[in-house]
Structure 1
């Protein structure tokens, strides 16, 4: 049962076997619909103390009416250290497994959209994604928090630190949604998962995990990631755990059990600082594929991922009857190329024309985690992404467009295409592919940091698509100009109609967005004007191709 309080500003829901929640209201941005919101609702118990690194436990019932008018505390992450040190927060920093639910009709049975945030598996929270855009349509939005960094991903593959804990968090959250979403006006038989970056990779893991039963979700939208990306997997989880423990102060000769006991009880911030220090060191010295502590693992103790999704795809073990939307932003590579540029500039190597001319492409491949022992990959990249004049220039700026394509393809575009290709094998009339190409007034390039020193701009940057699904900054939905508002209305239509019927539609969709019919298309270019492409591999060279057209 659900009810509303004084002037509908204090809605109350009663959850079977749990207790009552008091929410609050907000307003949709274009038609001022009343949104009932229940924020920071626990789906699991605290993971502090002996529960650290353990599978999540269902939240216990409570008495009375629980306040759900404020966002839950973000899961611990080094970036928010100053936030966590504030006195406004509860002392239990690991009590963060919450969902936030948004609905415009608590008595309906509407499609449910569950958003899984990105952030490289070590950053992010639910409060950055609110409902003022999406709830212009008749859906229920749920945003989920899961453990981040080593608290959610460290693994020794034993009962003490089993691995993939964050994926178990998400699974428990989906079970909670199945049990309770009807009290918020949602239909548990029509649940769509959508996630961006690491959130999309997490959805792939959920799709292919034998521990996730059918029926927890029914459609998926993957934005800017696939699980085959080199930044998704920890190839040496026990070694990573030991390296983090040693940095945090553990004796280097400690036994596995002693090391696990140390990690179980070490201070959160010491643990997170040690993880981040190791992450930076290994990225620079060995490449993104050698980072650990914030990655999925195969062969975890509880069998959540006995193998990678890519292995399941090759074996044809693909979940049937799951419609999929999948796509990227046009210039995904600018996101990490900033880190690449800063590193090689700091070492002085970008000031060496000989290094830039002969070794930069190989060095970038290694940095990004792309294995190339024979040099074949680098050779193909040099042939397809750069002109002879650009390569001979010895100047990073002349190579920027090709490097944008290189980084975007390795980290995001190629792994994303694999996901869509696999799904279309068993769901041939229900797999929709897109590239988000729209350049609006805002960009997430640099994520607020100064970008003026880079010899390239952000283009259609990683996560720019989210600007048209969720207000940015959060809670400021009125900030879009006329053209950007039109794009947001189109995006909201496409995403919510797919969640409703499994087919993305809109009165503003001026072309026929057909499902994937072959290995690389067709696919929709989300831009003005809208258009269709036939060969998604053209997105792998889009920046360098456009540069050549301009010259």
Structure 2
């Protein structure tokens, strides 16, 4: 492929998972210059032209994150870890003009990469797929509110990547006038920020799919960014009495891995001591120097200041809360509090609320939760295992379900008949519960876990994708139908749908239950109590 004003690329091929159709892939294509040295913490700069034919047969290195440190260190010729702003493009016809789907990975804004999302499923349909890498952790989101470390650089990376798509995607068989931006978890929260940023022009994308995150989640925002930056700097070796400007100079030159370790250590400490909403250094900020987000998306929604209407799909997995319940359990087990039945009976619910960032000194929130999520026997048991289903609902609602519903409701107000809501309820053979770690010690299962929906959009694991069984393959084909038809025409469709999936027309519905048997719900608030409701229903049925 030859890109005007840039140069030529040599790609490779792969094959569709079900028909074997040929997929042309161009991996690790730079859309920006390296972000190290004087460019650290600064807006990304367009990639420069190159001579000859550049190899695009291998994925770019992930943006720096502690989990991937072995890729960069201990090598004779260590790659530049801050040269990571790449896209990977997948197409079945380089001369066509197909709808484009751009995926933004999750990972809490501090981990993740593009190579974990490949095209063998989605490109069984007629779309072009682009996966994007953006700066993570403090390199992408640290902020002092000044020109030196303005904040929200990871979002500015995504904006530049979308501009690259507009300029070059026709050369890969894509239509720049039909771009669907979709993302999961932190990727979905980033998309919400792009929707409401005054610096993102209309036309960079035309439809969005938000999977398992809304921008009003407590884990998305750093409410004290300057304090976070100073604490990270001091942990990394900066003088404790340094001025802000001196700390900025230190952060701009400190060893990258020292910076990341300092951030991660502080993240763990702050989470344990004060809760998820007190973590900083890898979060979005408002009022940043460049004006990317003068206000949070939630503030814009409250004021009725919407971007021009976008067609949206938005949804969650059934048991989102088990993702964070592991962290909750590990924390309170480590402190010994779970071994105290009195603590579990009288203080656990309030303590979990605070840990998740929902602070309420009145006791009203905990009281409502106790009334709706738990029965008397569970509350008096003093047992975490008895409370696990209700706590799953509690965590999932605070961190993901309620914020996502707000996004959908706001978009439905701005664009009647243009918002499709769903819950992913299918429990297949595979699960992302624990993300590869041992989960045998937890007194609860993963259920339909956070990011389980991705198992049916992208092969997992990407390096050695296993064959899906017959039922899981049918679910993958359904998911691919729904996601790609939405990207094509703005309406999610499949011949497996037994009744039409209509857009939201009321405050909390309708919405689609994606499962072996598809069904329509009308009150999305029922998804806030789904695990505890099902447990209590089973208990009643067994006692009859």
Give the TM-score category using the shorter length: over 0.9
Paired residue for 2:86, among 98, 103, 112? 98
Residues of 1 paired with 2:454 and 2:112: CA distance?
Answer: 14
Q: Does 1:491 align with 2:482?
A: no
**What is the deviation of 1:316?**
1.4
Q: Secondary structure at the match of 1:403?
A: helix
**What is the deviation of 1:528?**
1.2
**What is the deviation of 1:436?**
0.1
**What is the deviation of 1:475?**
4.0
**What is the deviation of 1:152?**
0.1
Q: Does 1:72 align with 2:60?
A: yes
Contact 1:29/1:478 (8 A) holds in 2: no
Q: Does 1:37 align with 2:25?
A: yes
What TM-score does the superposition give when structure 1 sets the normalisation length? Answer: 0.97
Residues of 2 paired with 1:87 and 1:69: CA distance?
Answer: 22
Paired residue for 1:187, among 143, 165, 175? 175
What TM-score does the superposition give when structure 2 sets the normalisation length? Answer: 0.98
Residues of 2 paired with 1:28 and 1:447: CA distance?
Answer: 26
Q: Does 1:403 align with 2:388?
A: no
Q: Does 1:365 align with 2:388?
A: no
Aligned to 1:335: 323
Q: Secondary structure at the match of 2:157?
A: helix
Residues of 2 paired with 1:176 and 1:329: CA distance?
Answer: 32
Aligned to 1:460: 448
Q: Secondary structure at the match of 2:242?
A: coil
Length, aligned pairs only: 539
After TM superposition, list the pairs within 5 Å mapping 1:385-396 onto structure 2.
385-396=373-384
Aligned to 1:296: 284
Contact 1:40/1:100 (8 A) holds in 2: yes
Residues of 2 paired with 1:266 and 1:354: CA distance?
Answer: 47
Which string of whole-angstrom CA distances, capped at 9 and with x for unpartnered residues, describes residues 305-359 of structure 1?
0010001111111123310000000000000000000010011000000000010
Aligned to 1:266: 254
Residues of 2 paired with 1:58 and 1:477: CA distance?
Answer: 34
Aligned to 1:550: 538
Q: Secondary structure at the match of 1:38?
A: strand
Residues of 2 paired with 1:221 and 1:78: CA distance?
Answer: 29
Paired residue for 1:167, among 141, 155, 172? 155
Q: Does 1:436 align with 2:431?
A: no
Aligned to 1:324: 312
Aligned to 2:542: none
Q: Secondary structure at the match of 1:36?
A: strand
Paired residue for 1:234, among 204, 219, 222? 222
**What is the deviation of 1:478?**
4.7
Residues of 2 paired with 1:524 and 1:490: CA distance?
Answer: 13
Residues of 2 paired with 1:278 and 1:386: CA distance?
Answer: 34
Contact 1:130/1:475 (8 A) holds in 2: no
After TM superposition, list the pairs within 5 Å mapping 1:246-265 onto structure 2.
246-265=234-253
Residues of 2 paired with 1:379 and 1:190: CA distance?
Answer: 47
Paired residue for 2:435, among 436, 441, 447? 447
Contact 2:31/2:87 (8 A) holds in 1: yes
Q: Secondary structure at the match of 2:380?
A: helix
Q: Provide structure 2 residue ranges, at least 5 long, that are not aligned to the other structure.
A: 540-544
Residues of 2 paired with 1:217 and 1:152: CA distance?
Answer: 22
Aligned to 1:27: 15
Aligned to 2:137: 149
Paired residue for 2:100, among 112, 120, 129? 112
Q: Secondary structure at the match of 1:479?
A: coil
Which string of whole-angstrom CA distances, capped at 9 and with x for unpartnered residues, describes residues 193-251 of structure 1?
00000000000000000000000000000000000000000000000000000110111
Which string of whole-angstrom CA distances, capped at 9 and with x for unpartnered residues, describes residues 125-147 of structure 1?
00000000000000000000000
Paired residue for 2:513, among 511, 515, 525? 525
Contact 2:460/2:466 (8 A) holds in 1: no
Q: Does 1:196 align with 2:172?
A: no
Do the aligned partners of residues 88 and 511 (structure 1) sit closer, same or farther apart at CA in structure 2, a change above 3 Å counting? farther
Q: Provide structure 1 residue ranges, at least 5 long, that are not aligned to the other structure.
A: 1-12
Contact 2:318/2:527 (8 A) holds in 1: yes
**What is the deviation of 1:80?**
1.0
Contact 1:133/1:477 (8 A) holds in 2: no
Q: Does 1:124 align with 2:112?
A: yes
